[in-house]
Structures are given as structure tokens and as C-alpha cells.
Amino acid sequence: MTKLLDMGKNQTSQIPNILLSVKDASVAISVSSKMVRLLIASGRLKAVNLGKRMTRISLQELTDFAQRQGGNVVLPSSSPPFNNNKREKKKSITTAKPETGNVNKRAKCRMTPASEKAPEGVTHKTHYTMAEVMSKFNIKYGRLYEIRNRYQLASVHAWGTTAFRKKDVEKAIAKYDEEQGKAQQEAYYTCFDIMQKYGLGKTQVRRFAETHGVRIKKAKGGRANLYLKADWEAARKNAEKTSASTKAKRT
């Protein structure tokens, strides 16, 4: 459906001060966008430049041009600003609030339950939500995903998110922490281990590791370094071949 503006000489003062895009102007006078640009370039149609790719023609100017050519301006009823439904719809989408609860984008899950709906027997006393597990045990989504798959944690859909039995979660995380700790003890030296075994000072341990490219990782909590045993032993053997002092410090 279109809206016909019959702009006679006696009605031009009633034309609202509206700026149209090149495309809208071309539709209004039934020509191509290319033709509108040619008319602007030749000076037959006046336009304003509001920025890059923002050429605008006033409705008054377009109407005057159409009248000089013996025609009328026809504006589609959906053309802005006569119909702002699209603009209002877009605004309603961007400003819409979540149904309930806050969303933690970094964690990719809800920080608070979305609703009070949960299967029978599932309560906040018996189950953790995914966000609660991450917050309580200070782990990230990727680590939780690993634990969930490794120990086959059963889950239910409750409060608009994923929930796990508290007993299962606590048991799985304790087992995971124990296994990770054992793996570190088997594969890594602590700084104290090296100081005792080789009679080195803390600074000597750090400098030797940096000089010989010993791989290092942070201990749990991030307060101390762990040194890969295989790298350290290989570096010590190579150093012993060229350094008498290094060999003498080996016990």
C-alpha cells in the first residue's frame, strides 16, 4: 500500500521537513537510484551530505522537482518516517530484558535460577546449578565440562539451567583434585624439592630453569612454580658434561 502526496502549489507549505535517502527518493518519483544521483550531480536536484554514504534529499526539494516535471511524489506507507514499526521493533528487541535472573556471559550460563520450576525431589539443598558449582569451587566452564565428562556426572534441567547432585559434584571434584595433585608430584619438582636434592638456592633454581629451557607450570593457587622433572634431569646431565661445579652439586 502506498501513500500519494498530491503537492499542489497551495499545499507546499504543509510539507513536513523530512529528509529522504537516495533510495527512498528514487521510489518516490519512480526512477532508479542511479538517476537520482545523476540529477544531484547535474544540480537539477539539491541534496545534503550528512557523512559517508549519507546523501539526503528533503521532501520539499523532491516535491518541487516533481512538480516542475509535471508529476507527483509517491511515498510507500512503510517508508520512514511515516511508519516507524521497524525502528520500534528493533528497539524492543535490543532493550528486551532476560526473562528472569542474571546472565554471566563469560561463564556461558545463568548466575541465578531463571524460575522456580524443577523436577520433583530436586531442591537447592540437594542440587547445585552449573553457575553455583563454578562459583563455589572456583573453576571455569571448561574445567567443569572436563570433570562432568570424566566422571559421567548425571544432570537434570532445573530452574531454567543445568543442575547436578551436590554429593556427586563434591565427590567428583575431590577425586579430580587428588588425581591432578598426584600427577603433578609424579611429573614435576617443586622448587623446594630441587633445593633439597641439588643443594641449590631459590634464585639458582629459577636461573638454571630459565637458562636451560626447563618447562614450568604454576602450582595450584598460582603462588609457586613447578619444574618438569624430565626437562630438569636432561638439563642437569648436559650441564654436568661442561661444568664441574654442576657435577659436584649433584648428590
Q: What is the pLDDT of residues 200-227, one digit of tens each?
A: 898 999 999 999 899 988 876 666 788 8
Counting the structural domains of the chain, the total is: 3
Last residue of a domain, one of 146, 180, 214: 180
The cell numbers describing 83, all together, are 511508519
Predicted confidence at residue 164, as pLDDT, reads 95
Q: Which domain holds residue 192?
A: 185-248
Last residue of a domain, one of 158, 180, 202: 180
The cell numbers describing 105, all together, are 556471559
Would you call 227 helix, strand, or coil by DSSP? strand
- At 54-85, the pLDDT tens digits run 888 888 888 888 888 877 777 765 545 544 44
pLDDT greater at residue 36 or residue 98: 36
Residues 121 and 80 in one domain: no
Last residue of a domain, one of 161, 180, 199: 180
pTM: 0.34
| Residue 193 binned pLDDT confidence (cut-offs 50, 70, 90) | confident
d(Cα 157, Cα 39) in Å, to the nearest integer?
A: 63
For residue 204, what is the domain's CATH number? 1.10.1660
User: Would you give the distance in Å from CA 185 to the centre of its chain?
Assistant: 37
- Alpha-carbon distance values, 168 to 60, 118, 152, 174 (Å): 73, 18, 10, 10
Residues 164 and 190 in one domain: no
The dihedral over CA atoms of 217, 221, 222, 228, expressed in degrees to the nearest 10, equals -20
| Residue 139 binned pLDDT confidence (cut-offs 50, 70, 90) | confident
pLDDT greater at residue 250 or residue 193: 193
SS3 string, 70-98, reads CCCEEEECCCCCCCCHHHHHHHHHHCCCC
φ, ψ at 6 (rounded to 5°): -90, 90
